[in-house]
Amino acid sequence: MKSYIFKIKYQAMLVWLATGLVLQGCEVDNIPDPNNPTVESVLNNATVDDLNNLVVGTEAGMRNFLGTYYDNMGVIGREHYRFSSADPRFTADLLGKGSSVLDNNTFYTTNPWAGRYRVVKNTNILIASVFNTTLITEEQRQGYLGFAKTIKAHQLLMNLTMMWEPGIRIDVDDPDNLGPFVERSAALDSIALLLEEGAGHLAAAGEEFPFSLSEGFAGFNDPAGFLQFNRALAARVAVYNEEFEDALGFLEDSFLELNTDFNKGVYYVFSASSGDVLNPVFVAPNSSGEIRIAHPSFIADIAPNDDRRSKVLEREEAASLDGLTGKYDVALYKTNTDPIPIIRNEELILIYAEANIQTGNTLEAVRALNIIRQGHGLGPYAGSVTQAALIDEMLEQRRYSLYFEGHRWVDMRRYGRLNELPLDRPGDDVWTTFPKPFIEEAF
Amino acid sequence: MKKHYPLKLLALLFWLVSVTAYGQATVSGKVTDAGSGMALPGVAVVVVGTTTGTSTDVNGNYSITLPTEQGRLTFSYIGYESRTITVTPSITTLDVQLTEKTTSLSEVVVTGLATSVKRTNAANAVSTLNTRELTGITSPQTMDAAISGKLVGANVVANSGAPGGGIAMRLRGVTSVFGNAQPLYVIDGIIVDNSTISGGLNVVTAAANQGNASNQDNASNRIADINPDDIETIEVLKGASAAAIYGSLAAAGVVIITTKRGTSGKTLVDISQDVGFTEAAHLLGVRTFTEERVISTYKDRPDLVEQFIAARDAGRLIDYEEELYGNKGMLYNTRLNISGGSEKTQFYVGGLIQDEEGIVKRTGYEKKSLRFNLDHEISERFDFSLSTNYVNSIAKRGLTNNDNAGVSFGVALSSTPSFADLFRDESGLYPDNPFAASNFLQTRDLMTNEENVDRFLGGLTLNTNLYNTTVSSTRLVIRAGLDFYNLKTVAIFPRILQFEQNGNQGTSIQGNNYNLNTNFAAFLVNDLSLGDDNLNFTTTIGATRENFNQDQVLTIATQLIGSQTNLDQSSAVTVDQTQLPVRNKGLFFQEEVNFRDRIIATAGLRLDKSSNNADVNEFVAFPKFSLAINLANFDFWTRESVNMLKLRAAYGEAGGFPPFGAKYTSFSPFNIGGSPGIIVPIQRGNADIKQERQKEFETGVDIGVLQDRVILEATYYIKTVSDLILVQNVPGSSGFSTRVVNGGELRNRGVELALSATPFDLPGFKWNSRTSYWVNNSEITELDVPPFPLGGFGNTLGTFFIEEGKSATQIKGIKGEEGVVVLGDAAPDFQMNFHNFFTIKENLTFSFLLHWKQGGDNINLTQLLTDLGGTSFDYDDDDDGDGVPNAAERTAALGVSAEPFVQDASYLRLRELGLYYTLPTAFLEGATKGIVRQVRIGASATNLFTITDYDGYDPEVSNFGGNGLSTGVDVTPFPSSKRYFLHFTIGF
């Protein structure tokens, strides 16, 4: 009898235990993302800290896939070779080797493109957030908007330089309902308009930004300074759009200085700090494997005494791959944390020269070109002062002054001179544009 | 897991028995193998319900005195089915035959979370591997290697030959494109983690170009930690029709592992030692350079021509492939097994010390494993089973696979000619390799890439008999499992390395990965027998909980101080942390009905909730039904020669979770100028994401003839996966690159045939054989997103391509004027294996496993890299005789056609071969006076030969690791190896 009761007790306890397991919180707790803040968290009543994180992320994101972008521009523009023992497509597809063509679904097409739009998306979220918070002042709001629209314009322009023919999308606010592709000229107009709006916001943004930018914006990190950066970009857009009078106007409000302070400007900066990235195009001299070799024409064509020769460095041993050989390393950057220019005074002087050539002020153009020439150890310009001759000279100075900064291919293209770029192997091609990314076709 | 069915054979004995007697009884007899008649020494003989026991002598003879005049005797022996026989006073001599566990139909297979059924009554084709098949031929390095080529219906691909394993396992075809495609592993009721956690090598190799996500690091899967020698059986539930009981965890199938347990009787001690060596299974060879070839390959480089001439004249042309991969590694395994116990308590202890070198110097695998399993009957009402296992393993895996920095062994090797000088000079320094970013000899000698695991597995099952009557019994099963490990990954690239000097100036990447899985379950199981045992019901109701916690912290330190490796000895540190918490709760109900072993029907339902689902508190239901009809058990069946004819059909559903975090759209951190920043993620979240749902129907017939001497199991299945989870590529202009969506349906159809036979079963010669054939065809039957490529390197080089109406594993690429076309398919046309065991004169066993994979293509980029690097062994040959050398022809295709890179990867491989000799027991008895029970010596080999036309290290390869469907991408992998062993086992 006793043992019977004992048994029942055990039984009851075990059944209770089992039931407990079943019933004990039949609910499952919703686990919020344990790893990252959600996008929704900044869209409602964001604090200055939230918005500043977006600003920093935006500036940081501008550097994504920059290495691929400079390789695309430089290799097609015959400024350098990108030798890669791991990826043959740099020397095949980009140079149009044999019957190779640019693929619409390969990293060189898709990665920089998506990288820039990722920043555009961040600026769009920043713009939406500042309109949906009561925790900032009106001046602060204007500051955020001025920053966001200027950077957005720059990022769109970067993509347009690759997608010269298919054009780009301007309206990308709603990922489920993307705006149409806009062809080049209209896209340039839209970018110019964005810069114009940005300039308006910056003018109303007071003395200080509520956020701080990196060292890359030193001297341009308050509304007034940032406005000069905005106007410099506007000048670049204007010459791309062949609106040369406008370009001269924008330059006046930019940081243009007609002197040899060529490197004054705005930069991408790099560091080895946590969550940061290193200069993606730095390669130590005389490396092998993954290297950037100056196109032989750079040294073949450079004038004696031109100090821009220092942008390349003779190798101890020549490098060869895939039927291509070069003796010089691209050596613009000496360490893996050297900054890369976004836009600098040397380009502004050259834009000034170009706009003056195109608007008939040839003497003023020669004066600007001579600042460049003399600043690099060359004598004053001694050639003909016809518009055609000066365009040749201007393009040549841009070639050396802006070497490996992503301009050569764009310049030769806008002047219809891609056929003047040298071909290294029979069957090589110079591309006019990157194709529209495969996935964009489907939407 | 108890057997519910009386052994029919006993009926005969009962019939013989008369009932009266008194006092003690002594019984003696001989125990033999049921097939060959060979005497079995060391068989435990125990009187049920007492601690009285003995074991058979060398001639299989025993004698035991029962404390009462009648009782029951249990005969148990490792590798054989145990038998319990009732002894009556009239019996004084009892000769017993034990049946070896092979494809034995009396074994049980899992049907529920707490129930099982005799294989003869099973409605599913559950693949089972036992000890003999797993580890009986040779000593596999890891658990995953132990199953390669052995499972019918599975496509198991080793990712590389790197020490420590790593496999991609597909059960009945691809079941998910982006979700979890790897099966669930359950060991003694413990849900075991099988993550593949990257060591962060991407920082150095840049294989994934940007970001931390990298699946090209050749990491191993954590199932590799399990000691294969501890395993008694592996049962594989290949699809939802069998695996529905595991609900949302089961979409890719379930691998149920049961470890060895003790049996009551004499304590058995077995010590075994393996000594062996390993070498590369196949090396590609290198190009033979001549002066002309140097001139033509290295244009405008007279310096290299001089270097070549100097090297040639000095006899210094080096085969660097041999130098790198030519190491003969020593293999040592020491195992200790102790098992035994009393009537109430049984234990099993398994110990392993493994120390294996790899085919590359400074690579290898070390493991220490200790298992303790305990079974104890507390009282008639309670019993419990405990399984515990501690494992410490170190895998040193080298630096292989794809990279974009030119630093991995194979990529650097591919562009290094024989006249380069890479050897260390007298001062101990290595010259830079001018032909690549890395001097791979320096890298090999100075780098570290290790996975260090400390793991504890613990499982406890408590059975309680709640209520027993003559027709009904109810028991409560409570089960808890725990899987804890810390995986420390250490990847160190000292500052002095060629590529570090030009780059990060010393990199130390250390990962600390904490994993704790716990699972709990409680079941009430009722067995009800009606109508004189004619109708049996088994009812199960229960609840399950699973808590999975994983916390991965990866710290990357660069710019190291001197030769220091600690993370703080650096000027730059970045950290990445990912937490993966998952909470699941489920309810389970199942009813099994058995009508006289003639008709067996099952219905079950599992209801699951999970924190992984978009709606965490919505129950997701997974039903299953099955029916088996044993025609041969009906009265009308008169054909004696066919003793079994079973028709069976089963249907079930299972789920697959979306990848962790798919429902969130969350910012990624991205800093600049020392300030913290956030940027939109690459992947856009989807708050409406649903589980994948797999529905499988399988049907088949099992035929046994000549008293099961020949058994044929034939199965057809059709399996669809709807709400297919896809990482859709979205336009980059949206700011995102991908999004996880439910967007399609995938169908697999296949046939599995398994023929088990014992062609000879004579006293002097016994031959067991199993031949299997399996084929699977997949098709994307519906795709709601645009067709997309994945798991390759784009159309130029060939890529997998998901497209409606096409095979899920098709490979597409450019082909000249034709544009992008189908170039191949990674899925094999069919696979076969041929598994054989011979026993000659009782003492000599010989066994081998042949595995044939027919068809299935790889994307071979190793060959392309060696062609481009000018080092292919057949660079200058002209196989098709058109006057254009091979390499020129293949590289000319680059950018024009991907066809040359998509290559047939069929093979016929002798996976395992073993020969063992067991010393005659009579001799041992005499020589050691009975102290030594058995001595066995043997020799074995793994991958002795592979016949293939494939131009790579191994047709079995996967650059992208185990998940996803893109196996077969070949980018300078760690070459696979052959293994040769001598074995010695002594038992007491």
Please give the pLDDT value at position B213. Answer: 47
Q: Which one of A18, A216, A273 has the shortest CB-CB distance to B522?
A: A18
Chain A residues close to B581, C-beta within 8 Å: 31, 34
Sign of the torsion angle spanned by Cα atoms A234, A238, A239, A243: negative
> B681: which chain A residues are within 8 Å (Cβ-Cβ)?
36
Q: How far is CA B413 from the centre of its chain?
A: 31
Residues 6+ apart with CB under 8 A from B40: B31, B32, B33, B56, B60, B77, B80, B98
| Mean pLDDT, residues B137-159 taken together | 85
Q: Does B9 have pLDDT greater than 50?
A: no
CB contact under 8 A, B503 and A58: no
Model confidence at B49, pLDDT cuts 50, 70, 90, reads confident
Name the more confident of A402 and B960. Answer: A402
Model confidence pLDDT, tens digit, residues B752-787:
999 999 888 887 888 989 999 999 999 999 999 888
> Which residues in chain A touch residue B899, judged by CB atoms under 8 angstroms apart?
none
Please tell me the predicted confidence (pLDDT) of residue B75. Answer: 87
Contact B610 A37 (CB under 8 A): no
- Here the tokens at position A121 are 């998306």
pLDDT tens per residue across span B221-256: 898 999 999 999 999 999 888 888 898 898 889 999
Give residue B374's pLDDT. 96
Instruction: Please count the residues of chain B.
Output: 988
Which of B422, B613, B688, B734 to substitute to test the interface with A, most A CBs within 10 Å? Answer: B734
Strands (E), A85-218: 168-169, 181-182
Strand segments, DSSP code E, in A242-348 are 265-268, 290-294, 312-321, 324-330, 340-344
Note down pLDDT in tens along chain A; length 443 residues: 344 444 445 556 656 655 555 555 578 888 888 888 888 888 889 999 999 999 999 999 999 999 999 999 999 999 999 998 778 889 999 999 988 899 998 889 999 999 999 999 999 999 999 999 999 999 999 999 999 999 999 999 999 999 999 999 999 999 999 999 999 999 999 999 999 999 999 999 999 999 999 999 999 999 999 999 999 999 999 999 999 999 999 999 999 999 999 999 999 999 988 889 999 999 999 988 889 999 999 999 999 999 999 999 999 989 999 889 999 999 999 998 999 999 999 999 999 999 999 999 999 999 999 999 999 999 999 999 999 999 999 999 999 999 999 999 999 999 999 999 999 999 999 999 999 998 898 77
Q: List the single residue in A with minimal CA-CA distance to B817.
A: A99
Residue of A nearest to B792 (CA): A106
Q: How confident is the model at residue B962 (pLDDT cuts 50, 70, 90)?
A: low
Q: What is the pLDDT of residue B14?
A: 41
Whether pLDDT at B673 is above 50: yes
Beta-ladder partners of B542:
B523, B588
**pLDDT for residue B606 is more than 60:** yes
State whether A85 and B737 contact (CB < 8 Å): no
Question: What average pLDDT does the segment B591-620 reach?
Answer: 91
User: In angstroms, how far is CA A399 from the centroid of its own chain?
Assistant: 19
Closest chain A residue to B409, measured at CA: A86
Banded pLDDT at B501 (limits 50, 70, 90):
confident
What is the pLDDT, as a whole number, of residue B102?
A: 54
The span from the CA of B752 to the CA of B777, in Å, is 12
- Segment B293-319 mean pLDDT: 91
* Residue B933 confidence (pLDDT): 84
The pLDDT, as a whole number, for residue B931 is 85
pLDDT of residue A350: 98
Q: Tell me what the mean pLDDT of segment B436-444 comes to.
A: 94
Q: Within a 13 Å sphere around the CA of B146, how many CA atoms are in the beta-carbon half?
A: 27
Choose among B611, B685, B894: nearest Cβ to A92.
Answer: B894
User: Is B872 in contact with B888 (CB distance < 8 Å)?
Assistant: no
B90 — pLDDT class (breaks 50, 70, 90): confident
CB contact under 8 A, B865 and A178: no
- Beta carbons of A380 and A311 less than 8 angstroms apart: no
SS (H, E, C) B492-544: EECCCCHHHHCCCCCEEEEEEEEEEEEEEEEEEEEEEEECCCCEEEEEEEEEE
Q: B686 versus A156: which is more confidently predicted? A: A156
In the structure, what pLDDT confidence band is assigned to residue B641 with cuts at 50, 70 and 90? Answer: confident
pLDDT at B407 over 70: yes
Q: What is the pLDDT of residue B706?
A: 84
Beta-carbon separation of B673 and A125 below 8 A:
no
d(CA A201, CA B425): 65
* Share of residues in chain B with pLDDT > 70 (%): 95
Mutate to test the interface with B, among A19, A28, A215 (most CBs of B within 10 A): A28
Q: Who wins on pLDDT, B733 or B149?
A: B733
Write down the pLDDT at residue B4.
42
- pLDDT at residue B410 tops 90: yes
Q: Residues with Cβ < 8 Å from B836, sequence gap 6 or more? A: B767, B768, B769, B770, B847, B848, B849
Which comes out higher in pLDDT, residue A155 or B930? A155
A302 DSSP β-pair partners? none
Q: What is the pLDDT of residues B331-369, one digit of tens each?
A: 999 999 999 888 889 999 999 999 999 999 999 999 999
Cα–Cα distance, A113 to A111 (Å, whole number): 5
Residue from B542, B520, B530 nearest B476 by CA: B542
Backbone torsions φ then ψ of A199, nearest 5 degrees: -60, -40
* Residue of chain A nearest B666, judged by CA positions: A38
Predicted-complex ipTM score: 0.90
Q: Residue B42 above 70 pLDDT? A: yes
Contact criterion met (CB < 8 Å) for A275 and B671: yes
| Predicted pLDDT at B141 | 86
Contacts of B576 in chain A (CB under 8 A): none
